[in-house]
Amino acid sequence: MKKVITYNLNGIRSAMSKGWLDWVNIVNPDVICVQEIKAHAEQLNLKEFNERGYYNYWYSAEKKGYSGVAIFTKQEPDHVEYGWDYDDKEGRVIRADFGDVSIISVYIPSSTSGEERLMFKMDWLARFQNYIDKLKKTRPNLIICGDYNICHKPIDIHNPISNANSPGFLPIERAWIDGFMKTGFIDSLRHFNPNPHQYTWWSFRANARANNKGWRIDYNLVSEPMEKSMKQAYILPEAKHSDHCPMVTEFDF
């Protein structure tokens, strides 16, 4: 059994100060994909990861204290790809290959800062779709873990009516993730759990997390050839090292 987790940490140093590494020991994932690390590897004591049995691979943004993705894994990958066929100065994509399975940690841009950033995001998404379409031809067994910064359906947001025009739930964004899934990916959480109120991010405002007024913007999307290897998927809302919570998918491969 392989346990794969995605977790936006909103700053890995902040998360570590809140006991994140002790939590990793307890939950014991085989692979953990993290986003928004807001750090470079040289800013941390990597022995702390090695002592817990994890190889660690980082792809940080050029800008200090911003964005960035990483993969921590108990099994050493055959290959690690840093970035993709895009001038990725924001550190948003890293891929690890294990035999015929590839795991990606992705941090899709937000669109909260206005029309210009939304256009950047939509261009980024189109390029990412092309990258994945090409990658699938040689690496068909894909697990794309990450913060997509998009709620897919009304069930994935606490108030779809009042948020109808909110960045992250805009029709153009929702149409993209819907189309992306239809190119051959399974929403692993919804594959096992059709229930409402399954959220992975909460605003720091208005006591949103305590009242579970959240958004589901973190996904482990699994390519269709791997459907039978999925065994269960769930979120862990009790983990509170960030304004996000972890999303877990377990596999038998």
> Are 78 and 50 spatial neighbours (Cβ–Cβ below 8 Å)?
no
218 classed as catalytic: no
Using DSSP bridges, classify how beta strands 141-147 and 101-107 pair: parallel, antiparallel or unpaired: parallel
> Are 78 and 95 spatial neighbours (Cβ–Cβ below 8 Å)?
no
> Are 16 and 43 spatial neighbours (Cβ–Cβ below 8 Å)?
no
Q: Which of 30, 88, 147, 156 is catalytic?
A: 147
Return the active site residues: 147
